[in-house]
């Protein structure tokens, strides 16, 4: 983005829910489904300070699935899969 002279401003919305949890496994794991909301996120051209449109094929709200593992220092996301075909 620095080379393209753009920055991101605004909020990236989330509505995450744990969809599965194995808390008794040797390495506890969880699956989290999130509704990612880009509606308040803007890409700005730093030369003109104008908002650049998102690509036409980029949904404003879509589902992403994360896998997390509980390590000694807390939960660590080990996999993250956005699915632009699934809107929310």
pLDDT classification of 16: cutoffs 50, 70, 90: very high
> Are the beta carbons of 44 and 53 closer than 8 angstroms?
no
Across the chain, what does the average pLDDT equal?
Answer: 94
What pLDDT score was predicted for residue 54?
A: 83
Instruction: Return the domain boundaries, the chain.
Output: 6-83
Answer positive or negative: Cα dihedral of 64, 69, 71, 75. positive
Question: Residue 55: pLDDT above 90?
Answer: no
pLDDT classification of 2: cutoffs 50, 70, 90: confident
């Amino acid at each position: 983005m620095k080379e393209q002279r753009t920055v991101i401003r605004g909020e990236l919305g989330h509505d995450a829910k744990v969809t599965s949890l194995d808390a008794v496994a040797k390495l506890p794991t969880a699956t989290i489904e999130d509704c990612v909301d880009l509606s308040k996120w803007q890409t700005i051209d730093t030369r003109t300070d104008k908002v650049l449109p998102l690509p036409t094929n980029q949904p404003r709200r879509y589902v992403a699935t994360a896998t997390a593992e509980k390590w000694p220092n807390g939960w660590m996301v080990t996999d993250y899969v956005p699915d632009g075909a699934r809107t929310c």
